[in-house]
Amino acid sequence: MSSSNSLFKTKLSAHFVDAYIAEGEIVTLEGWLTYYDEKDKSWKPLDGEVSVYLNGVKIGSTNAKLGQFSFNFPSPSIGKHRIDLKFKAEGYEASYKSLSFEVTERERKRSLMRFAKIVFVLILLLCLSFSSIIFFLRA
């Protein structure tokens, strides 16, 4: 425990599983809850309840087990939004994490995904072409 206030320091980290969210999708948020062990001088996993707020309104909570947690919720309306995560428990300092995200139209996401697939295939073909050229030049 910290000598200054006898509370363990805590930290919340989180990210969206899909960074590009479309209307009508289920949004998945994953994260970690940790505390700082002064004795070992390291961050360690912490079990506890994490509250989830969408645009300032509580939409639920999830339990971190071995420090890891996951939370699903339906995507809100098209536009910019904010998720806030809060942890508060006796013996620990409160933690807070905020993430901004934007919900877009389904067709826009489909177009982006098609473009990404085309770019991936082109890069793969380019790599195969260079590998073939190098192979035949060495032969």
User: Which pLDDT belongs to residue 114?
Assistant: 79
- Angle, CA of 76, 81 and 87, to the nearest 5°: 100
User: Which pLDDT belongs to residue 6?
Assistant: 67
User: Which pLDDT belongs to residue 2?
Assistant: 42
Q: Identify residue 17 by its one-letter amino acid code.
A: V
Q: How far apart are CA 41 and CA 72, in angstroms?
A: 33
Q: How far apart are CA 63 and CA 15, in angstroms?
A: 16
User: Which pLDDT belongs to residue 72?
Assistant: 97
> Tens-digit pLDDT profile for the chain (139 aa)?
444 456 899 999 999 998 789 898 999 999 999 999 999 999 999 999 999 999 999 999 999 999 999 999 999 999 999 999 999 999 999 999 999 999 998 777 777 777 778 888 888 888 888 888 887 777 6
Determine if the pTM surpasses 0.85. Answer: no
User: Which pLDDT belongs to residue 5?
Assistant: 55
Q: Quickly tell me which residue has 């380019």 as its tokens.
A: 126
- Which contiguous run of DSSP H or E holds residue 125? helix 106-138
Residue 136 CB-density burial (10 A; 0-12 exposed, 13-18 middle, 19+ buried): exposed
